[in-house]
């Protein structure tokens, strides 16, 4: 820990002592992110106020060979911002300035600690908004969104964070400030923005983000459809896509998820539904009206027994409240639960859901399903009671088996929550060793010392400059591979 | 190297890149064959060739032993209509795709291949609505310069597992290896489409955007003085929206695109540039007096420059405005004394990427930014 003491002195001198935390008690408040069952107390927390200060921290880490982890609001669900016990946690929460709202360029320029929803709030008076809308948008930060390539309910039509970032200023793991892109599109050279967004803090720290602002749609129509079975709701989803409609969102909840949402926020969904769909269309009035008729007809044909159309913004908000509160709401019906995040091809939905319910039944746990049906992004909530002997383990088994199902059906181990600490072990099931080694080439270009968020995303990083093959520890005794 | 004879053939008269003749040509028919080829030719310099429609873009290679032609790496591997995705071998010509009532929404000239459009990062008018190859590519298979086959992404649109190598390969000009297979997100074909043609000035773009009609493309052409808008959707919706834009621009609704739509504004012996500027700078760029054409709705335009002075003038204008100006193509005598790429922020990191993927610098050497 001698290194950390020296580092703390250097950072206090460069940042000011109130921006450097070493008190054990205070450090504990940063021990986890949104995935609270992983806990690590960082050696030091830095609270920079500017890009230059982030660069100073990273430079000091690079010089001392100390790992660093960046953290935004700490809402991530994969342990991506879990601290390193011998490392520095760089908290960007103090960097909360919206630097520019430029409707004429259809861009906003913000610091990484700015809250997602604040960008939309600042842009709305100009007729614009920021499209990526993770359910945590009231508290999650843009810097965190960049690290995780966050999605949201509306990415079916509008894409993810990566489709909305046109410029970045980053601090590379050697401490250098680098500008990539800006307000104009297609900067020459490799698409380093594309590589950086979604790299989960392993390629550096974003210190300024230029995002696209999207024109507010002329009209938004929201439908709540109740179905007698999951299969019927799945069939309606497929029929909507097959008809050539691209809704802004198609969200599904099953009976157990509905039960939880009712208990928590009294959203008043139709009683007796085995599944509900929320379908939202947006765009020019003339388009939305025609397609909305089509969608309601398709839902009815697929067996919907009740259709509700949001009459106004209040009713629309109520439809969404049930959906957006679903994760937390599950706490009302179960003392503990695991939030899973996996992706399957949309057409496999009914089959995979059957297999999930078989898995749940055979292991004696309950699974509530909440998901972005339009793009096959499942969020099964595996319920358990940690006080009951063996339940946590069974829930963990089912949760892992669901991820295996996603891989089996040609999907992904994560659609929006990221790999982080939680899913690094699944990466070799989705990708071959050569694929993972190729990703490491990018890592080595940015971070040859493996100091940026080590231990996340990749299960077994190899030393840079070494060709794959062989056991690193055996070949380089005494070398620490974070 | 005994296998080299079986894997390659001697180059012909047409087998050159930017005037640099190749010695050998190979046309592997599968990813595995391509990997064997790349592994067996480890001391050769390589340029990958797709349909050849943009092979003249960029500086010529510093050295060229082998052209890897992707024409036999062709065909639709999968079209999962219900999932709105398709898997294509890299050499598949986009104009030959038959996807029924769905489409791969990339604008490309006849003969352009899937891999070529990805490698050049080329785009056209509809990028305003659908995005570009970087947005539509969801999975990729490549052969690295060391002959190793690697995949990234997958067959689902929503996927954040691991680094997005597809984006790194998009627009990399063949400098990171050979792309052999691409997975793309598809869109439904619109039920109706209409163009509104007008002679409104570039300032009208903000009026169109304010109208909330969700245009698919807004294109401008200084040679004809035209501003044209593409609207897609349902028949009734398109009728109403195009009628509105027709009034706003004092234009005319047309079923057909203007003749210049989506075409490069330069002749084959001229200097062709790609310019990008923040949206608010489009009007001043248009009024700068150069021959420009392109996406006024996104700020990505193309210019036919008369000479190096005009290249420098346009570049200064774009860079000062926070944008970029790249010379895509130029006659050999101009090209050789010109910095085709212009200023490249982040170049040091890019060099490190290249060094990691291709330490021998044998894939398209010298064709990319900073001499990469």
The three-class DSSP label of residue A253 is strand
Domain shared by A324 and A365, yes or no: no
**Interface contact flag, B212 A344, Cβ < 8 Å:** no
Which residues in chain A (175-214) have CB-CB distances under 8 A to chain B?
176, 178-195, 197-199
A462 falls within a domain: no
Cα gap A247→A403, rounded to integer Å: 27
Over residues B132-156, the pLDDT tens digits come to 999 999 999 999 999 999 999 999 9
B11 and B159 fall within a common domain: yes
Q: What is the DSSP letter of A52?
A: H
Q: What is the pLDDT of residue A260?
A: 93
Q: Does B79 touch chain A (CB under 8 A)?
A: no
CA A199 from chain center: how many Å? Answer: 12
| Closest alpha carbon within chain A to B368 | A189
Chain B: closest CA distance from residue A444 (Å): 7
Residues B215, B158, single domain; the answer is: no
Q: Which helix (H) or strand (E) holds A337?
A: strand A336-339
Are both B37 and B101 inside the same structural domain? yes
Residues B114 and B44 grouped into a single domain: yes
Report the relative pairing of strands B66-69 and B24-26 from DSSP bridges: parallel
- Which CATH number goes with the domain that contains A57? 3.30.43.10
Q: How many CB pairs under 8 A join A and B?
A: 268
Beta bridge partners of B356: none
pLDDT of the residue at A2: 52
CATH number at residue B323: 3.30.70
Which pTM value belongs to this model?
0.96
Q: Report chain A residues whose CB lies below 8 A from the CB of B135.
A: 159, 163
- The angle formed by the CA atoms of residues B161, B166 and B168, to the nearest 5 degrees, is 110
Is the residue at A264 inside a domain? yes
Q: Do A177 and A190 have their domain in common?
A: yes
Tell me, yes or no, whether A446 and A338 share the same domain.
Answer: yes
User: Are the Cβ atoms of B80 and A246 closer than 8 angstroms?
Assistant: no
* Same-domain check for residues A207 and A104: yes
pLDDT above 70 covers what percent of chain B?
99
- Inside any domain, residue A482: no
Phi, psi of A125 (to 5 degrees): -60, -20
Q: Say yes or no for a CB contact (<8 Å) between B280 and A102.
A: yes
Which of A153, A184, A448 has the most B C-beta neighbours within 10 Å, making it the best mutation to test the interface with B? A184
Q: Which residues contact B108 (CB under 8 A, 6 or more apart)?
A: B53, B94, B95, B116, B117, B122, B124
Which residues of chain A make contact with B341, given a CB cutoff of 8 A? 188-189
Statement to judge: residues B100 and B123 lie in one domain: yes
What range does the domain containing B86 cover? 1-188
How many Å is the maximal CA-CA distance in chain A?
Answer: 70
Within 8 A of A195 by CB-CB distance, chain B residues are 163-165, 167-168, 353
B16: nearest Cα among B72, B69, B91: B69
Q: Which residue has the tokens 């939880």?
A: A260
- Are both A244 and A187 inside the same structural domain? no
Domain's final residue, options A48, A74, A94: A94
- Among residues A219, A222, A249, A216, the alpha carbon closest in space to that of A317 is found at A222
Q: Return the pLDDT at A174.
A: 97
Q: Are B168 and A442 a contacting pair at CB < 8 A?
A: yes
Task: Please identify among residues 94-153 of chain A the ones whose CB lies closer than 8 Å to any CB of chain B.
Answer: 102, 104-107, 127, 148-149, 151
Structure confidence at residue B4 as a pLDDT band (50, 70, 90): confident
A66 in Cβ contact with A88 (< 8 Å): yes
Query: Does A321 share its domain with A235?
Result: yes
pLDDT at position A460: 79
pLDDT at residue B113, rounded to an integer: 98
Q: Strand runs (DSSP E) across A317-426, as ranges?
A: 336-339, 342-343, 366-372, 377-384
Chosen for mutation from B281, B346, B357 (greatest number of chain A CBs closer than 10 Å) is: B346
Query: Which of A215, A248, A279 represents a domain boundary (last residue)?
Result: A215
In a domain, A10, yes or no: yes
Closest CA–CA distance from residue A440 to any residue of chain B (Å): 9
CA A227 to chain centroid: 29
Q: Are residues B183 and B320 in the same domain?
A: no
Total domains in chain A come to: 4
Whether residues B126 and B246 fall in one domain? no
The reply to whether residue B300 touches residue A439, judged by beta carbons under 8 angstroms, is no
| Closest CA of chain B from A244, distance in Å | 5
Same domain, A223 and A321: yes
Q: Domain end: B168, B188, B208, which one?
A: B188
Per-residue pLDDT at A37: 86
pLDDT recorded at residue A466: 60
The one-character DSSP state at B189 is P
Mutate to test the interface with A, among B87, B154, B157, B352 (most CBs of A within 10 A): B157
Contact B152 A416 (CB under 8 A): no
Q: Is B352 inside a domain boundary?
A: no
Residues of A in contact with B157 (CB under 8 A): 375
Q: Are residues A291 and A346 both part of a single domain?
A: no
Q: Does A364 reside within a domain?
A: yes
Q: Distance (Å, rounded) from C-alpha A190 to C-alpha B349?
A: 9
In-domain check, residue A161: yes
Q: Which residues of A touch B151 (CB under 8 A)?
A: 431-432, 435
pLDDT at A477: 42
Domain boundary among B139, B163, B188: B188
Mutate to test the interface with A, among B103, B136, B163, B218 (most CBs of A within 10 A): B163
Domain of A191, in residue numbers:
98-215
Residue B112 sits in a domain of what CATH number?
A: 3.30.465.10
CATH number for the domain that contains residue A175: 3.30.465.10
Residues A194 and A244 in one domain: no
B135 & B240 share domain = no
- Quote the tokens at residue B286: 């248009």
* Per-residue pLDDT tens listing for chain A (482 residues): 458 999 999 999 999 999 999 999 999 999 999 998 899 999 999 999 999 999 999 999 999 999 999 999 999 999 999 999 999 999 999 999 999 999 999 999 999 999 999 999 999 999 999 999 998 999 999 999 999 999 988 999 999 999 999 999 999 999 999 999 999 999 999 999 999 999 999 999 999 999 999 999 999 999 999 999 999 999 999 999 999 999 999 999 999 999 999 999 888 999 999 999 999 999 999 999 999 999 999 999 999 999 999 999 999 999 999 998 888 889 889 999 999 999 999 999 989 999 999 999 999 999 999 989 999 999 999 999 999 999 999 999 999 999 999 999 999 999 999 999 999 999 999 999 999 999 999 999 999 999 999 999 998 766 786 654 444 444 344 433 33
* Residue B368 maps to a domain: no
Q: What is the pLDDT of residue B1?
A: 45
Nearest Cβ partner for A290 among B123, B135, B234:
B234
Mark whether A105 and A52 lie in a shared domain: no
Distances (CA, A) of B115 to A19, B129, B185, B187, B203: 49, 22, 15, 19, 36
Q: First vs last Cα of chain B: how many Å apart?
A: 27
Domain of residue A329, CATH code: 3.30.70.2190
Q: Do B163 and A127 touch (CB under 8 A)?
A: no
Query: Given this model, what pLDDT does residue A476 score?
Result: 40
For residue B90, tell me if it sits in a domain.
yes
| A contact test, residue of B119, B158, B189 with most A CBs within 10 A | B158
Domain count, chain B: 3
CB of B356 less than 8 A from some CB of A: yes
pLDDT at residue A363, rounded to an integer: 95
Query: Do residues B19 and B333 touch, judged by C-beta distance below 8 A?
Result: no
Supply the pLDDT for residue A3: 84
Q: Which of A159, A192, A215 sits opposite B346 (nearest CB)?
A: A192
- Domain-ending residue, one of A40, A64, A94: A94
Domain boundary among B188, B214, B233: B188
On chain B, the residues whose CB falls within 8 A of the CB of A283 are: 214, 233
All residues at 6 or more sequence positions from A118 whose CB lies less than 8 Å from its CB, including other chains: A98
A207 and A224 both lie in a single domain = no
Same domain, B29 and B95: yes
Best CA proximity match to A131, nearest among A104, A151, A110: A151
CA-based nearest residue to B133, from B99, B179, B83? B179
Enumerate residues 6+ apart whose C-beta is below 8 A from B350.
A189, A190, A192, B344, B369, B370, B372
Domain co-membership, B177 together with B315: no
- SS3 of B146, please? coil
Distances (CA, A) of B356 to A80, A110, A348, B324: 25, 32, 38, 26
Domain CATH for A397: 3.30.70.2740
SS3 content of chain B, % helix, strand, coil (to 5): 25, 25, 45
- Inter-residue contact A128 to A213 (CB < 8 Å): yes
- The verdict on residue A174 lying in a domain is yes
Residue with tokens 């358990």: A384
From edge to edge, which strands make up the β-sheet containing B66-69?
B9-10, B24-26, B66-69, B46-49
Alpha-carbon gap, residue A96 to A138, rounded angstroms: 14
CB contact under 8 A, B280 and A105: yes
User: Smallest Cβ distance to A439: which of B155, B162, B347?
Assistant: B162
**Dihedral (Cα; B17, B20, B25, B29), 10-degree rounding:** -20
DSSP for B106-125, please give it. Answer: ----TT-BHHHHHHHT---T
Asked whether residue B367 is domain-assigned, the answer is: no
Q: Please state the separation of Cα B246 from the chain's center in Å.
A: 31
Asked, for residue B279, whether it belongs to a domain, the answer is yes
* Residue A334 backbone dihedrals phi, psi, to 5 degrees: -155, 135
Is A472 part of a structural domain of the chain? no
Q: What angle do CA A27, A30, A35 make, to 5 degrees?
A: 150
Helix-, strand-, coil-residue percentages of chain A, each rounded to 5? 40, 20, 40
Considering the domain architecture, whether residues B28 and B110 belong to the same structural domain is answered as yes
> Are B213 and B287 found together in one domain?
no
Is residue A204 located within the same domain as residue A134?
yes
Of the partner residues B84, B101, B160, the one whose CB lies closest to the CB of residue A415: B160
State the Cα–Cα distance between residues B109 and B124, nearest whole angstrom.
10
The minimal CB distance from B357 to the residues A215, A431, A441 is found for A441
């Amino acid at each position: 820990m001698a290194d950390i003491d020296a580092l703390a002195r250097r950072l206090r001198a460069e940042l000011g002592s109130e921006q450097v935390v070493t008190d054990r008690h205070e450090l504990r408040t940063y021990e986890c992110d949104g995935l609270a069952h992983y806990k690590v107390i960082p050696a030091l927390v830095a609270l920079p106020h500017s890009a230059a200060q982030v660069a100073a921290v990273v430079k000091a880490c690079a010089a001392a060979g100390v790992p660093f982890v960046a953290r935004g609001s700490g809402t991530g669900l994969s342990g991506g911002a879990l601290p390193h016990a011998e490392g520095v946690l760089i908290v960007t929460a103090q960097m909360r300035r919206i630097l520019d709202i430029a409707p004429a360029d259809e861009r906003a320029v913000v610091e990484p600690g700015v809250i997602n929803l604040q960008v939309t709030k600042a842009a709305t008076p100009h007729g614009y908004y920021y499209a990526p809308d993770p359910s945590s948008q009231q508290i999650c930060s843009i810097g965190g969104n960049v690290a995780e390539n966050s999605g949201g309910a509306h990415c079916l039509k509008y894409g993810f964070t990566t489709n909305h970032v046109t410029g970045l200023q980053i601090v590379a793991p050697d401490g250098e400030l680098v500008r990539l892109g800006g307000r104009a599109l297609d900067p020459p050279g490799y698409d380093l923005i594309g590589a950086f967004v979604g790299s989960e803090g392993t390629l550096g720290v974003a210190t300024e983000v230029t995002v696209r602002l999207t024109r507010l749609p002329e009209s938004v129509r929201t439908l709540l459809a109740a179905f007698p079975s999951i299969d019927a709701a799945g069939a309606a989803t497929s029929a909507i896509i097959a008809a050539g409609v691209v809704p802004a969102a198609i969200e599904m909840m099953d009976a157990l998820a509905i039960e939880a949402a009712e208990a928590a926020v009294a959203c008043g969904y139709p009683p007796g539904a085995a599944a509900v769909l929320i379908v939202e269309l947006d765009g020019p009035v003339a388009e939305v009206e025609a397609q909305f008729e089509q969608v309601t007809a398709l839902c009815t044909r697929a067996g919907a027994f009740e259709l509700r159309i949001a009459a106004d913004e209040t009713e629309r908000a109520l439809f969404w409240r049930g959906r957006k509160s679903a994760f937390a709401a599950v706490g009302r019906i179960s003392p503990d639960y695991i939030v899973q995040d996996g992706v399957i091809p949309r057409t496999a939905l009914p089959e995979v859901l059957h297999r999930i319910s078989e898995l749940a039944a055979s292991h004696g746990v309950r699974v509530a399903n909440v998901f972005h049906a339009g793009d096959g992004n499942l969020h099964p909530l595996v319920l358990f009671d940690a006080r009951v002997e063996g339940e946590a383990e069974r829930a963990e088994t089912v949760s892992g088996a669901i991820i295996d199902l996603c891989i089996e059906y040609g999907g992904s181990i994560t659609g929006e929550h990221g790999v982080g600490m939680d899913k690094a072990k699944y990466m070799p099931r989705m990708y071959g060793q050569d694929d993972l080694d190729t990703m490491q080439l990018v890592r080595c270009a940015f971070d040859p010392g493996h100091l940026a968020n080590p231990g996340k995303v990749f299960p077994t990083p190899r030393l840079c400059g070494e060709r794959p093959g062989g056991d690193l520890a055996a070949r380089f005794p005494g070398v620490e591979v974070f | 190297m005994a296998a080299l004879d079986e894997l390659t053939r001697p180059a012909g008269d047409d087998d050159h890149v930017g005037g640099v003749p190749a010695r050998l040509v190979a046309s592997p028919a599968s990813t595995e064959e391509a990997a064997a080829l790349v592994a067996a030719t480890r001391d050769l310099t390589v340029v990958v060739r797709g349909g050849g429609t943009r092979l003249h873009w960029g500086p010529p290679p510093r050295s060229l032993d082998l052209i890897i032609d992707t024409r036999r790496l062709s065909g639709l591997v999968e079209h999962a209509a219900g999932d709105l995705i398709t898997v294509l071998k890299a050499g598949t010509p986009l104009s030959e795709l038959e996807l029924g009532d769905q489409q791969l929404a990339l604008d490309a000239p006849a003969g352009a291949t899937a891999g070529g459009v990805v490698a050049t990062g080329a785009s056209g008018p509809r990028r305003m609505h659908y995005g570009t190859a970087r947005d539509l590519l969801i999975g990729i298979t490549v052969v690295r310069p060391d002959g190793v086959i690697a995949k990234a992404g997958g067959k689902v649109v929503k996927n954040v597992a691991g680094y997005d190598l597809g984006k790194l390969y998009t627009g990399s000009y063949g400098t990171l290896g050979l792309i052999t297979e691409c997975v793309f997100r598809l869109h439904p074909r619109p039920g109706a489409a209409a163009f509104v043609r007008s002679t409104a000035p570039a300032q009208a773009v903000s009026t169109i955007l304010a109208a909330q009609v969700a245009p698919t493309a807004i294109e401008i052409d200084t040679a004809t003085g035209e501003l044209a808008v593409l609207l897609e959707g349902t028949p009734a919706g398109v009728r109403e929206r195009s009628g509105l834009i027709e009034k706003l621009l004092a234009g005319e609704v047309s079923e057909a695109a203007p003749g210049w739509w989506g075409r490069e504004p330069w002749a084959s012996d001229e200097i062709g540039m790609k310019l990008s500027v923040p949206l608010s700078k489009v009007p001043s760029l248009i009024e700068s007096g150069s021959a420009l054409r392109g996406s006024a709705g996104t700020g990505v335009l193309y210019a036919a420059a008369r000479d190096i002075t005009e290249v420098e003038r346009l570049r200064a204008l774009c860079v000062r405005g926070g944008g970029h100006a790249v010379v895509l193509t130029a006659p050999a005598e101009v090209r050789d004394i010109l910095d085709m790429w212009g200023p490249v922020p982040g170049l040091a990191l890019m060099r490190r990427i290249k060094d990691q993927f291709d330490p021998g610098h044998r894939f398209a050497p010298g064709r990319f930014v900073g001499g990469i």
